Amino acid sequence: MRWRWIPPLTADAGLQMAIDRWMLQQQCVGQGDPMLRLYQWNRPTLSLGRHQRQIDPRWIALAEQGRLHLVRRPSGGRAVLHAGELTYALACRPATTHRLTAYAEACQWLQVAFAALGVPLEFGSVKAAEAAQRGNCFASGTAADLVQANGAKRIGSAQLWSGACLLQHGSVLLSPPQDLWREVFNSPAPNLEPLPQAAVMAELQRAARDHLCSGALQTVALSAREWQQIQLLEDAAPLG
């Protein structure tokens, strides 16, 4: 099956989340091919998981100071600091709705890409219930996450299912800002060697083409009509 690659975009939080909700919506109504994209945020942003209700007072203070933007993701999981990273989003109708199997299949291309970069990744082993007690997504690695040999988490992923349709988000850490990370989470950033953005993006696209999309990955930019649909979703979405 052919997949659609939406060209990378740097934009604000509201627009990025609206695009991702639109991607899932298109799968649910049977419009178009499965979709994949990589993107970045135009300012440091903390995204909160769909069901995350406890908001640290530090986050609110940083947002009020204009140093951090808050947004709620459509997907689950805990808080993610979007700075010094790449975010990926894929929307499709997987062959299985078994959650862990779907995670494994949807993350294989990420493992292939990082192996090619000389950074092999494995799934984490922390129980989901334990990870849910922490506000910071990168404080622990579950079976939905990819960690390095030293135990540091490189990629955190989360899902939203609508029937048999899946939206999967993931944050790929490149060089997280140590000072801001400590201010946000009161802990050091994961112990990761910095990786160059251009090389990571190129390897991710190559791995997606060969190991997620079976070679059928076609670049198709968003049309004017699609941007109009996305704008409606952005206008209707609550932030914070």
The residues carrying an active-site annotation are: 137
pLDDT digits (tens, 9 = 90+) for 12-36: 999 999 999 999 999 999 888 999 9
pLDDT value at residue 77: 86
Give the closest residue to 208 by CA, choosing from 109, 95, 89: 109
pLDDT digits (tens, 9 = 90+) for 188-204: 999 999 999 999 999 99
pLDDT value at residue 131: 46
Stated pTM of the model: 0.92
Instruction: Please give the Cα distance from 230 to 63 (Å, whole number).
Output: 25
Beta carbons of 92 and 34 less than 8 angstroms apart:
yes
pLDDT value at residue 10: 97
pLDDT digits (tens, 9 = 90+) for 203-218: 999 999 999 998 889 9
Domains and CATH numbers, the chain: 3-236 (3.30.930.10)
